[in-house]
């Protein structure tokens, strides 16, 4: 129960910091550096799927937004991910990819549980991650939608 209360408190503190940052500068929606892994693994620590999340479904052009990947087992319990097994962070766009490729920055592109996205052109984007636990395994992937407005 203590761990659950600490998680809720941490979430509230992060939300307040983000709100203060947006209210003061209005420029970035990046969450502070947070380890997206739980402190301990459950007994079943085999990753069944991954989920990409962020703090906002929309941003304005030239704003940055951080995306986080978390792993879950077959019991939907949060498990520790190895950042070195993040093989690729990727973005795609609804419409003409070539029209956007020189206007988007996604960094880092691998070996990190977080990535930061910025676009200087409006559009509907999909940011995703590819995680591979062991050689020979299939990739575990997830994408989330982001709308960039003027």
What does DSSP say about strands 140-149 and 86-93: parallel, antiparallel, or unpaired? unpaired
As a whole number of angstroms, the distance between CA 147 and CA 54 comes to 12
Query: Hey, what are 148's tokens?
Result: 């960039």
- Mean per-residue pLDDT, 125-136: 96
Mean pLDDT value across residues 44-54: 96
- Looking at residue 36, what is its pLDDT? 85
Please answer whether residues 66 and 85 qualify as being in contact, where contact means their C-beta atoms are separated by less than 8 angstroms.
no
What residue ranges define each of the domains in the chain, with the CATH number in brackets?
27-149 (2.60.40.10)
The model's pTM is: 0.77
Is pLDDT above 60 for 123?
yes
Chain-wide mean pLDDT for the chain? 87
Residue predicted with more confidence, 81 or 9 = 81
Determine the 3-state secondary structure of 34 from DSSP: coil
Quick one: pLDDT at residue 91? 98
Kindly state the average pLDDT of the residues 115-126: 97
């Amino acid at each position: 129960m203590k761990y659950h209360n600490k998680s809720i408190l941490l979430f509230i503190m992060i939300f307040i910091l983000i709100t203060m940052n947006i209210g003061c500068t209005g420029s970035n929606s990046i969450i502070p550096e947070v380890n997206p892994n739980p402190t301990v693994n459950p007994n079943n620590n085999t990753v069944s799927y991954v989920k990409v999340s962020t703090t906002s479904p929309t941003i304005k052009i030239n704003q940055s937004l951080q995306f986080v990947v978390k792993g879950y087992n077959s019991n939907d319990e949060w498990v520790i991910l190895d950042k070195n097994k993040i093989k690729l962070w990727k973005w795609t766009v609804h419409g003409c990819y070539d029209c956007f490729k020189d206007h988007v920055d996604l960094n880092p592109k691998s070996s990190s549980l977080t990535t930061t996205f910025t676009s200087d052109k409006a559009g509907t984007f999909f940011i995703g991650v590819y995680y591979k636990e062991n050689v020979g395994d299939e990739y575990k992937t997830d994408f989330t939608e982001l709308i960039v407005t003027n």
